[in-house]
Structure 1
Amino acid sequence: MKTRVLTFLPLALTLIFLIGPFIVIVMAGLSSGNNLAFPPPGLSLKWVIKVFSIESFRASFAMSMFLAIFGTLAALILGIPASYAMSRYKVPGSETVRLIVSSPIIVPGIIVGLALLRYFVVPLSLSITLALFAAHTALILPYAVRVVSASLNNLRSDIEEAAVLLGASRSGAFFRVILPNIRGGVLSAFILGFVTSFNQVPVSLFLSGPGVRTLPIDMIGYMETTYDPSVAALAALLAFLSIGIVFIAERFLGFTRYV
């Protein structure tokens, strides 16, 4: 009996640590009170409904969706050929390239955001939207390269050679043979990039500006002036959205095989 307790106690503590904040946010977002507090005095959906009526949330949500979708697509357009080249050919300095590509993951986001602002955005006088798009694409690129590379490494290279021997060009073999066989990895990379971009905070904090902000940054700004439970309600909705996307990806794509 004592052994079972010692075995399950760390698991229970880990689950409480991981799930506890989520439960607190959900309950706070369903509060019937007027202030952000836990435990709530009662339960109500009024703050969930109010989230959809706040204009700044709608605008920043649209911006976050734009960056998440098109930033991820741009990262895949750049990452798929790079992954293919490093997987199929002996590219000089490929390990150095992999390290450089992975640098946005290794380096803290605050440093990346400050560096982009100081040495990229300000000297080139980029618009806020373009700066955010370029930054999010750069942040998602390492995930695209890693996930697509994993799919290519698990794919037998001789099927491409067979297609070439049967008369297909290299580009034709790639689009007709390679790409369809790694579509699961490509979709997984898209989902991972989408979730990463949508929830991105440090870099977006440096690059956002007047009238152009992502949803997480807008939520931070909203909490500086208003302390009602609408932010908690929105956070809970976003958490459910992320969980739903990952669940569907795991159910239909086997998401964990690629990440």
Structure 2
Amino acid sequence: MTSRFLSAFVLSIVMLFLIGPFLIIVAASLSAGDNLAFPPQGLSFKWVLKVFEIESFRASFAMSMMLAILGTLAALAIGIPVSYALARYKMPFGETVRTIVSAPIIVPGIIVGLALLRYLVIPLGFNISFALFMAHTALVLPYAVRVVSASMVNLRGDIEEAAVLLGCSRLGAFSRVVMPSIRGGILAAFILGFVTSFNQVPVSLFLSGPGVRTLPIDMLAYLETTYDPSVAALSALLAFMSIGIVFLAERFLGFSRYV
């Protein structure tokens, strides 16, 4: 009985630690006061509605969506062939390739952002938007390779070989047999990459410029001059969006099987 009570108590503390900040932000976003505070000063939805009226939030949201979608698609375009090669062929430097591909996860984002700013944007004059696209693609690539590789390893190779023996080319077997068989893993990799890219802060902080800001960076800049609950309202909306995406992915794809 004591052991069960202790386990329930520890679980409650852990859940409060994980969910508590989210509940505080949601409560602060519904405050009727003019300043960001907890506990809220009354209840109102005015700050939630104001989020949609702020032009900079709309522009930066569009930028974040574009980067997340295009960056994740580019990472998948690179990651799927890499995953196929690593799963199907015994390459002498396979583990080295996996380590290199995982480098954006291992290396702190601040270093990646500073390196891109120093060696691409400043000396070569790269467009900031294009530099952001490259950075987000590189940051999402490890997730694409890892998740798709897990699906590729679980796919029986003799199915593909049977298609080849029946007259299908290697490319045809890949497109008609392999790709449909791992579509769940590809969609899971896309969702994971999208959420990771959309919420990216350190790299985007270095590569943001006039008129080019992602939503998290725009929220930081907004807090420097204004301290109202609209940022809390936007944070709550983004959290609900991420939770909804992951919930739907788990419901229809079995997301936890791939991550």
Normalised to the residue count of structure 2, the TM-score between the two structures is: 0.99
One-letter amino acid of the structure 2 residue matched with residue 200 of structure 1 = Q
SS in 2 for 1:172: helix
Q: What is residue 8 of structure 2 aligned with on the other side?
A: 8
Count of residue pairs brought into register by the alignment: 259
Q: Is 1:51 the equivalent of 2:51?
A: yes
State the Cα distance separating 1:12 from its structure 2 match. 0.6
The CA deviation at 1:109 is 1.1
Distance 1:10 1:183 in 2: 39
Flag as ranges the 4+ runs of structure 1 deviating above 4 A: none
Q: Which amino acid aligns with 1:192?
A: L
Shift of 1:91: 2.3
**What SS does structure 1 have at the residue aligned with 2:220?**
helix
| DSSP 3-state at the match of 2:102 | helix
Match for residue 137 of structure 1? Answer: 137
**Aligned residue identity for 1:209:** G
Counterpart Cα distance in 2 of 1:134 and 1:121? 11
User: How big is the shift at 1:121?
Assistant: 2.5
Give 3-state SS (helix, strand or coil) of 2:178's partner: helix
| 1:122 Cα deviation after fit | 2.0
Which consecutive residues of structure 1, in runs of 5 or more, have no partner in the other structure? none
Offset at residue 230 of structure 1 (A): 0.1
Deviations 1:2-56 (A, max 9, x none): 2222111111110000000000000000110000000001110000000000000
Any residues of structure 2 matched to 1:217-236 within 5 Å, and which? 217-236=217-236
Deviations 1:161-217 (A, max 9, x none): 000000000000000000000000000000000000000000000101111000000
CA distance in structure 2 between the partners assigned to 1:123 and 1:9 by the alignment: 56
Alignment-derived partner of residue 208 in structure 2: 208
What residue identity is the alignment partner of 1:128? I
Identity %: 76
Structure 1 counterpart SS, 2:39: coil
Query: What's the counterpart of residue 149 of structure 1?
Result: 149
Corresponding residue for 2:102?
102
After superposition, the C-alpha distances for 1:66-88 in whole angstroms (9 at most, x for unaligned) are: 00001100000010001101111
Q: Deviations over 1:103-152 (max 9, x none)?
A: 10111111111112112322221111101000000000000000000000
Partner of 1:161: 161
Q: Matches of 2:181 and 2:123 in 1, distance apart?
A: 43
Q: Could you list the runs of 5+ residues in structure 2 that have no partner in the other structure?
A: none
